[in-house]
């Protein structure tokens, strides 16, 4: 009879039986240390009572029996892990076939932590939480909160938590409207129908020998080779940027932690794009200011004209003192100054900088992140999928390099006058366009061998991109569906991490 | 010994044991209020009997033990929630790791409710349900239904519930045939091979000085600069629209609620598109009617001709009274009237309106919704995915604005004579075409920097669109698969919501 | 005390308890008819014993308790339905929330039935099964199988079941090789580099008046406006078609059921494509035969020449009897015969028929279905997804009609000289190309409004196609993964339907 | 009473009951052989005790009861199979409805085995494992490991296991840098802006008859029809290839098994691409060397010039001995030698070989596999999906052949001067481009019939490719997610296969 070696474990009312030596298999756990001296030992029924989940316990006991830890699939991961913890077992010992189950709920926890950190609309925080956030725990508990300490969180919520109050929503709405207005202005001012010509004034000097007397002619003309956006756009930009500046000032004044605020990428974008606008405006104003001297040029000549005049004038002294000459000298100087400035600007690439500065404005769109939770989730997805994005780019680069080389040599292998693949770098562009199935058609293989390479490229492309994308998509839909699930719960239950 | 603090709960025959203090953890629930005075207390066995599902109860009891409410995954959500309700527990208290399980069956219920509302083919409704639908409960229960009250639902079913009878299917088939005929006519009449030239009659006047006597020549010519669809299309359209009008009248007469019927988008589309046809026809008829005066023009001149003639005529009196002059005056008047009318029409953009009106006809395709359940599910999917569609459009707009700006400046950064990116709005079109991987190839970057932007755009595009689409797809496949599952059940069991 | 109303049900050793009135809730079932007179009633323990699955029974009993039938998710559907059947319950009564579970395993059964019918490689059939298949059950059981009855199944297996033996694999391989050869010949013979010019001989007659004597000149020339494939292709085709004819004859002779064989689409394709080849060859031979008369034409003239000659000849009698005239008449007659034949052929569109006939050869590729199980699964997928394919085409047609109309009017709304959208049918092509994200770029909107329509079309396109595709994909992967799972089992266990 | 035929099975504390005859249903299993003589029979309770998982046992017993083996879905496959093994049952007997469950965990095991073989970063191997890997078990156990046997594994780890130490990471980094440098050089040297012209020297001879005295003119000119990459690229390539040679030598010296190392595809790629570089360089050097004789050509003429001169020279003897003639002869000979060499090279296609050799360098990118685990997984995915890839290619070929034929005849069916589909092979390219939704637009159907074929092709294309891709994608995501799950475990637990 083997009954004497058996042990009865009453777990939550259900009696499990096993041999005593089975429980010794995993040492230093709750079950390996069972002795009749324990309070939960019932000598009448000869059993140990544990107030735990009976169903899950059969998986625990099975671990002792078989030495293999499998996760049950009828209860969720955290529940099983809590049981494992109670029984003193290590969740890491899970069998490889259950690795996915094991990591899945860890991923869920990560997802939930991310959502918690996204600061989506929820229950308004308590006074205590606010004090903690602003670092005034001491003042809060001693009860002597200053007037400023009461005002600061309210203003901050007004500008940073659109869901907190009706007024916050209005301010958020205004902010979004200004971002959109500034972006529309940015887009539309490049459209030819919204541009006005820049009139360029030019003048020339011709020396004419009229009957022995050397005379000179000044010609003033206009030209319109350049256009500039309609000035109204400047006013729209100005108003928008004034709002952004005000917003930025208020935010920097009322933020919980100035250190953290300054380092946030959104603040940096804000400062740079607003700064870029004002810098550009001032620079432009200086250019116009110096450019306004151009009007003086109507009365002037360029330096060589001066020299010619001074050469042919009867009296140099008189010539120098004549008011016309003075004006001439001044305006010519101004012209040279402007030319030199312009030259320096071009030389140092400042005009390119101007282009670059105006392009920065488009980053302002990322400020919408503060106002739309969908965008927050998108950015969080890209952060969480950094590894998969790297993989995607890596696969794509590998594939395009290989296909670019193949198509380059394939198109050269045959006499082919219309060959468009004149270098591998151009082939890179073609193979990327083919792999992504965009297929602009600006470059197309003309030989049968090139077509074969193109076919492989198109098919491989589908795979190269199709493979890492689902991982990224599942990261997004994980975040999105959890945030949707959270939004359906009553506000009080939305906190992930409880005390 | 801790046995005296234990309590035995016999749930459906399975005995669960726990400590009494555990049950007190969640107050104001059925288990926290257990006393031996209850009818289900058995003093012999010292247990409480509950006639409930024993397996699910272990999850319930685990909630008491650990303070955490997890959903089991071996029974479906509604079953567990019914148990929660019985034990007086709040399903909202679910742990974050089970949020998805919690919301999933709520989504299923929403899906089922939507399918129920779609009015797909099912069991024919009972007399009582019909009376309820038409708002005649009182008459139904008192038993005095008028003849009209008996007829109305039948005619309505004939026109609105294609699955209700053989006749209804025939009418549905005719209706679909007319919609298709009207759409085919709409498409084909724009094809050049189905168009006939509009002959345009013109006339000119030339004054000739023949030997001192001023004479004038009238020239009549024809021109065919315009074409119009073959007149047969008009008859096809007419017949279709007469059917649509009849159908509309019958529906408006026999509908259960006129108020609801009038406000349905399908009715509005129907009224507008049929109205547009008749409005256009009448307007066209008027134009032709006035245009018929053009034939009179063969005998007339234009006003200046009249003036010239009257100037050169020997006797003004005689001239005015001559029949030729009268005809001339009349016809010229008609011509002016027509010209003015035409001018007004063009001026007020009525011709554009005509174009717009004929375009409305294409909306008639949405009337197919009444006849195809697949289309109903598609529209319902778009309704249910409004948020995700907004997200998709939002992501796409964000991405195209950023890439349009980048490609615009990238293509300007280098001297590039073939630059096609002359403005950011054009860049928006290019980046949308690239992001959606359509890639028409009408605009292509020419510089290496532009190509880099294009490459990023193509790759990002795949992601931007791939991220929100699966959510929409799952909404569709949810609706579709449930409707397919429902179609496989016997008709009687298809009702989702039971009494 | 409510214990007296309780009933104990010992199901497979686990004791379930409930109230007697609960079991009466669903009448006419095994549990509602329980009486102590039953053999499985144990008066000592006061319980009814049932030798069934205890876990599943708690779901059954829950149905009695709550009146709602839910499927458990820890056992597979068929197991639960067997239990339902044992307890006399109707699986149709399932709650809407479990509809998907309910239909899912029905779909699995359909999938398995399809795979069984696909006749994939499995255990060789027993003599009994073969006899059944060929309809010789009587002969088999009486034991008097003729020699023919023993041979027929073997030859059939040789040609129709490539997995049955080594020889069958060889024949299958030869068959595939001939199909590929015939397809390659079909493709390559259209390539210009494999074509030789057709020399076209022409002749003309000119009457010349030379010094009062009317003479006539015959000119013979050659022209090569047409090319025809290299004659070697004909021999390849001939050999292939001879094999196909032999194969077809053997198959028709040894098939289990001639009726079924003749009606199978593969046989029809085979007969039509082989027939088409021979018909075309014969027709071509006739044409060449008549065309060979063209050589005679070198000696002939056309009819008018004859007439002219007869007119100018000194003696009509002599002229008629001269051998040259006879040759002339014969050859001219031949020429006319050929011309008329050619005219008739063209007139009746026979040449188009020839084109059509040669196109039929491509259908021969479907004969590969017999040799590749992947192709069988693909075709089965399309059959099983007929409804979803219809939905896809329906959605696409709806979308392209709407966008074609929109883009047609959008491009007309603005003065736009390069408008490529001259009719809605052309717009249909454009919108399909855009919706499928192919984007050839042969038609591109030029106005901003047209671009907006194009953008919507590209985005909607992604959705329109993305929605029904996953359903079809899941049909395929269901079939594919089950057939893969089956292939991993030992051959004996692969039969789905057991006796 | 049927109680006497019953048997009680106490499995892990839970008592299951059934009839004795039920257990006899499946012979030769543990349960069919139960007798009261067994040690686990308890005569008091009249039960058999088994220390196994009680929940899973109800599925086992159900197999006896119903004769159908279903997998439970609340425990993972391997656990259930271990139970099956214990009870002496055959897992192959699984019902068709559970085939997927049955194969799923087999696939998981395959996936895990693949990951184990990928040699991803893990715990450093023990001395014993290293000895086993290098085949020195005997030496290891006897304890007399030579100095070389201690060094070899360390150097190998340094070059082949980047995760093993800091130095290994540095070497891996250098190796990757050289691969990238060599690839960049390969790409950039084809770019026109990095190419310098090859100056080609030519000379001609003209005989001039000047006043009776026949004279000859030599002309020397330069031409630059060819360009060659900048010489710096050669130095970059040289340095890279020297590193690769060193690395290859070290690896071949320190590899655990030279046989296995030589046969690995990566070694072959390495040897071929490095060899190709040196072969090409040497060949090029020879060509230049012979090309340096070209400088001598400045002083020479071609053969005909010599002949002409010798013909017109007054004294042949004198002429032959003149130093100029000697130089002429030598240089002309050199020129002929060079020409012949060049001709031979071209003739034997060596220049094409050179192109092919330089293309091999791109294969060097696959050496990155050693350094990036993502690439390892990609290659493993393609290996594991060989069957599905074949299916994809097979479906695509089938579809493109059919659509190529259809579009070819469709475009011929109508008079169509702009027909681009001049042969079926070109149609193949078009249909592949359409099916993959790349849509270059270089070939576009012009007739309505051709457009219809194009539309079907685009739609079918989506399906043809969409069907097999998810299977490949799931193979990848299976491998990827398991490798990610593994990376989250502590290093010690990462081993899949335990002793
Ligand atoms: K394209
Ligand atoms: K495309």
> Which of C185, B34, C73 lies closest to D424 in space, CA to CA?
C185
Q: If residue B276 lies in a helix (H) or strand (E), which one and from where to where?
A: helix B265-292
Contact of A100 with A481, CB cutoff 8 Å? no
Cα–Cα distance, B32 to B48 (Å, whole number): 13
Chain A's closest residue to D39, CA to CA, is A1
How many Å lie between the centroid of ligand 2 and the Cα of residue A471? Answer: 24
Residue B294's pLDDT band (cuts 50, 70, 90): very low
Give me the residue from D73, D74, D441 closest to B441, CB to CB.
Answer: D441
Contact of A408 with A424, CB cutoff 8 Å? yes
Pairing of strands D47-50, D6-11: parallel
pLDDT at residue B248 tops 60: yes
**Chain A residues near residue B99 by CB distance under 8 angstroms:** 482, 485-486, 489
The pLDDT of residue A346 is: 54
Q: Provide the 8-state DSSP code for B144.
A: -
Q: What angle do CA B41, B43, B47 make, to 5 degrees?
A: 50
Q: Which residue has the tokens 């991220």?
A: B467
Q: What is the mean pLDDT of residues D50-54?
A: 89
Give me the DSSP letters along A164-195: S-HHHHHHHHHHHHHHHHHHHHHHHTTSGGGE
pLDDT at residue B314 tops 50: yes
**Does any CB of chain A come closer than 8 Å to the CB of residue B2?**
yes
Question: Which has the higher per-residue pLDDT, D33 or D310?
Answer: D33
**Does any CB of chain C come closer than 8 Å to the CB of residue B198?**
no
pLDDT at residue B56 tops 70: yes
Cα–Cα distance, D437 to D459 (Å, whole number): 9
Long-range contacts of B209-214 (CB under 8 A, 24+ apart): B214/B308, B214/B312
Q: What is the mean pLDDT of residues D368-375?
A: 84
Alpha carbon D485 to its chain centroid, in Å, reads: 25
- Which residues 216-235 in chain D show a CB within 8 A of chain C? none
Integer Rg of chain C from CA: 38
Question: Which has the higher per-residue pLDDT, C456 or A158?
Answer: C456
Cα–Cα distance, D446 to D238 (Å, whole number): 53
Q: Which of B81-85, C344-348, D297-301 has the lowest mean pLDDT?
A: D297-301
By the CB criterion, residues less than 5 angstroms from ion ligand 2 are A 439; B 439; C 439; D 439
Helix D386-412 × helix C166-188 angle, to 10°: 40
- Contact state of D362 with A406 under an 8 Å Cβ cutoff: yes
Cα–Cα distance, D197 to A196 (Å, whole number): 47
pLDDT in tens, C176-205: 999 899 888 888 888 888 877 665 555 555
Q: Give A37's contacts (C-beta < 8 A, 6+ positions apart).
A: none
- Which residues 359-378 in chain B show a CB within 8 A of chain C? 359, 362, 365, 368, 372, 374-375, 378
Proportion of chain A in helix, strand, coil states, percent, rounded to 5: 65, 10, 25
Cα–Cα distance, C465 to B390 (Å, whole number): 19
**Does any CB of chain A come closer than 8 Å to the CB of residue C192?**
no
Smallest Cα distance from C65 to chain B, Å: 7
- Contact state of C467 with B49 under an 8 Å Cβ cutoff: no
- Which residues 67-126 in chain B show a CB within 8 A of chain A? 68, 70-74, 92-103, 106
**Does any CB of chain B come closer than 8 Å to the CB of residue C404?**
yes
Cα–Cα distance, B342 to A471 (Å, whole number): 62
The pLDDT of residue A153 is: 81
- Contact state of B76 with C98 under an 8 Å Cβ cutoff: yes
> Which of C277, C189, C193 lies closest to C239 in space, CA to CA?
C277
Contact of C118 with C371, CB cutoff 8 Å? no
The pLDDT of residue C38 is: 82
Pairing of strands C213-229, C195-210: antiparallel
What ligand is nearest to the CA atom of residue A461?
2
D398: its two tokens:
């089938």
Q: Provide the 8-state DSSP code for C52.
A: S
What percent of chain C shows pLDDT beyond 90? 9
Residue C200 sits at φ, ψ, to 5 deg, of -105, 120
Cα–Cα distance, A431 to B458 (Å, whole number): 12
pLDDT at residue C52 tops 80: yes
SS3 B126: coil
**Does any CB of chain D come closer than 8 Å to the CB of residue A250?**
no
**Does any CB of chain A come closer than 8 Å to the CB of residue D438?**
yes
Whole-number Cα distances in Å, A277 to A352, A355, A449: 15, 11, 53
Other Cβ atoms within 10 Å of A28 Cβ, number: 7
Write out chain D in H/E/C secondary structure.
CCHHHEEEEEECCEEEEEEHHHHCCCCCCCHHHCCCCCCCEECCCCEEEECCCHHHHHHHHHHHHHCCECCCCCCCHHHHHHHHHHCCCCHHHECHHHHHHHHHHHHHHHHHHHHHHCCCCCCCCCHHHHHHHHCCHHHHHHCCCCHHHHHHHHHHHHHHCCCCCHHHHHHHHHHHHHHHHHHHHHHHCCCHHHEEEEEEEEEEEEEEEECCEEEEEEEEEEEEEEEEECHHHHHHHHHHHHHHHHHHHHHHHHCCCHHHHHHCHHHHHHHHHHHHHHHHHHHHHHHHHHHHCHHHHCCCCCHHHHHHHHHHCCCHHHHHHCHHHHHHHHHHHHHHHHHHHHHHHHHCCHHHHHHHHHHHHHHHHHHHHHCCHHHHHHHHHHHHCHHHHHHHHHHHHHHHHHHHHHHHHHHHCCCCCCCCCCCHHHHHHHHHHHHCCCCCCCCCCCCHHHHHHHHHHHHHHHHHHHCCHHHHHHHHHHHHHHHHHHHHCCHHHHCCCCC
A431: its two tokens:
């193979």
Contact of A454 with A434, CB cutoff 8 Å? yes
**Chain B residues near residue D440 by CB distance under 8 angstroms:** 441
SS3 A11: strand
Sheet containing A41-42: order of strands: A14-19, A6-11, A47-50, A41-42
Q: What angle do CA B358, B361, B367 make, to 5 degrees?
A: 175
The pLDDT of residue D404 is: 92
Chain D's closest residue to B434, CA to CA, is D438
Cα–Cα distance, A120 to A130 (Å, whole number): 16
**Chain A residues near residue D39 by CB distance under 8 angstroms:** 1-2
pLDDT at residue D434 tops 90: yes
Whole-number Cα distances in Å, D302 to D287, D296, D311: 20, 12, 15
Alpha carbon C454 to its chain centroid, in Å, reads: 34
Cα–Cα distance, D112 to A95 (Å, whole number): 11
- Contact state of C437 with A437 under an 8 Å Cβ cutoff: yes
Whole-number Cα distances in Å, C481 to C380, C466, C478, D75: 14, 22, 5, 22
Contact of D442 with D389, CB cutoff 8 Å? no
Smallest Cα distance from C166 to chain D, Å: 22
Cα–Cα distance, D487 to D474 (Å, whole number): 19
A197: its two tokens:
């010509």
Residue B485's pLDDT band (cuts 50, 70, 90): confident
Contact of B462 with A469, CB cutoff 8 Å? yes
**Does any CB of chain C come closer than 8 Å to the CB of residue A40?**
no
- Contact state of A496 with B17 under an 8 Å Cβ cutoff: no
Residue D129's pLDDT band (cuts 50, 70, 90): confident
- Contact state of A462 with D436 under an 8 Å Cβ cutoff: yes
Smallest Cα distance from B397 to chain D, Å: 23
The pLDDT of residue A440 is: 92
Residue D46 sits at φ, ψ, to 5 deg, of 55, 55
Helix B386-412 × helix A373-384 angle, to 10°: 70
Contact of B30 with B88, CB cutoff 8 Å? yes
Contact of D171 with D159, CB cutoff 8 Å? yes
- pLDDT tens for the 499 residues of chain A, in order: 466 788 899 998 889 989 888 888 888 888 888 888 888 888 888 889 898 998 889 889 999 988 889 998 888 888 898 899 999 998 888 888 888 888 888 888 888 888 888 777 666 677 777 777 777 777 777 877 778 877 888 888 888 877 778 888 898 899 999 989 988 888 888 888 787 766 555 555 566 666 666 665 656 555 555 567 777 888 888 899 899 999 889 888 888 888 888 888 888 888 888 888 888 788 777 766 655 444 434 444 455 555 666 666 666 666 666 666 676 666 666 666 666 666 665 545 555 555 666 777 788 888 888 788 888 888 888 988 898 899 899 999 999 999 998 898 888 877 777 888 888 889 999 999 999 989 999 999 998 889 999 999 998 878 888 888 888 998 898 888 888 888 877 766 666 554 3
> Which of C390, C387, C372, C391 lies closest to C179 in space, CA to CA?
C372
Residue D149's pLDDT band (cuts 50, 70, 90): confident
**Does any CB of chain D come closer than 8 Å to the CB of residue C422?**
no
The pLDDT of residue C177 is: 92
Contact of B294 with B223, CB cutoff 8 Å? no
**Chain B residues near residue C8 by CB distance under 8 angstroms:** 13
Cα–Cα distance, C198 to D434 (Å, whole number): 34
Strand (E) positions, A211-351?
213-229
Other Cβ atoms within 10 Å of B114 Cβ, number: 21
Smallest Cα distance from B258 to chain C, Å: 29
A151: its two tokens:
């005002």
Kindly report the pTM of this predicted structure.
Answer: 0.83
Other Cβ atoms within 10 Å of A481 Cβ, number: 18
Residue D192's pLDDT band (cuts 50, 70, 90): confident
Residue A11 sits at φ, ψ, to 5 deg, of -105, 105
The pLDDT of residue D363 is: 80
pLDDT at residue D461 tops 50: yes
The pLDDT of residue B298 is: 42
The pLDDT of residue A167 is: 87
**Does any CB of chain B come closer than 8 Å to the CB of residue C46?**
no
The pLDDT of residue A285 is: 73
Chain B's closest residue to D437, CA to CA, is B438
Contact of A480 with A377, CB cutoff 8 Å? yes
């Amino acid at each position: 009879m083997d009954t004497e070696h058996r042990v009865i474990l009453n777990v939550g009312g259900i009696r499990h039986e096993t041999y005593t030596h089975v429980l010794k298999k995993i040492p230093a756990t709750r079950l390996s240390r069972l002795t009749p001296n324990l309070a939960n030992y019932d000598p009448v029924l000869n059993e140990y009572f544990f107030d735990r989940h009976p169903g899950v316990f059969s998986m625990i006991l099975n671990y002792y029996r078989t030495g293999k830890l499998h996760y049950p699939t009828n209860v969720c991961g955290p529940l099983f892990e809590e049981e494992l913890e109670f029984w003193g077992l290590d969740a890491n010992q899970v069998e490889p076939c259950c690795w996915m189950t094991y990591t899945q709920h860890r991923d869920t926890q990560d997802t939930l932590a991310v959502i918690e950190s996204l600061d989506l609309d929820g229950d308004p925080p308590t006074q205590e939480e606010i004090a903690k956030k602003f670092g005034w725990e001491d003042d809060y508990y001693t009860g002597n909160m200053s007037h400023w300490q009461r005002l600061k969180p309210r203003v901050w919520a007004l500008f940073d938590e659109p869901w907190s109050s009706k007024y916050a929503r209005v301010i958020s709405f205004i902010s979004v409207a200004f971002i959109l207005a500034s972006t529309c202005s940015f887009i539309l001012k490049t459209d030819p129908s919204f541009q006005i010509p820049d009139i360029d004034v030019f003048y020339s000097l011709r020396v004419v020998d009229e009957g022995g007397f050397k005379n000179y002619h000044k010609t003033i003309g206009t030209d319109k080779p350049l256009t500039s956006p309609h000035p109204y756009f400047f006013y729209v930009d100005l108003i928008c940027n004034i709002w952004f500046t005000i917003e930025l000032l208020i935010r920097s004044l009322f933020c919980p932690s100035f250190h953290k605020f300054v380092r946030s990428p959104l603040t940096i974008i804000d400062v740079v794009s607003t700064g870029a606008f004002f810098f550009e405006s001032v620079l432009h104003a200086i250019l116009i200011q110096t450019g306004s001297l151009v009007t003086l040029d109507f009365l002037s000549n360029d330096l060589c004209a001066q020299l010619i005049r001074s050469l042919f004038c009867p009296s140099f002294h008189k010539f120098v003192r004549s008011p016309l000459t003075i004006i001439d000298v001044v305006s010519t100087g101004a012209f040279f100054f402007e030319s030199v400035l312009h030259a320096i600007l071009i030389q140092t690439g400042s005009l390119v900088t101007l282009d670059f500065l105006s392009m920065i404005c488009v980053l302002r769109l990322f400020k919408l992140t503060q106002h739309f939770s969908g965008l927050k989730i998108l950015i969080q997805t890209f952060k969480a999928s950094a590894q998969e994005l790297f993989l995607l780019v890596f696969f794509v680069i590998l594939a395009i390099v290989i296909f670019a080389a193949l198509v380059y040599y394939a198109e050269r292998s045959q006499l082919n006058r219309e060959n468009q693949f004149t270098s591998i770098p151009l082939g890179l562009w073609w193979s990327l366009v083919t792999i992504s199935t965009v297929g602009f058609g600006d470059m197309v293989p003309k030989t049968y061998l090139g077509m074969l390479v193109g076919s492989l490229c198109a098919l491989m492309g589908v795979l190269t991109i199709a493979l890492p994308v689902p991982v990224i998509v599942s990261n997004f839909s994980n975040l999105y569906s959890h945030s949707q699930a959270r939004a359906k719960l009553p506000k009080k239950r939305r906190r992930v991490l409880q005390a």
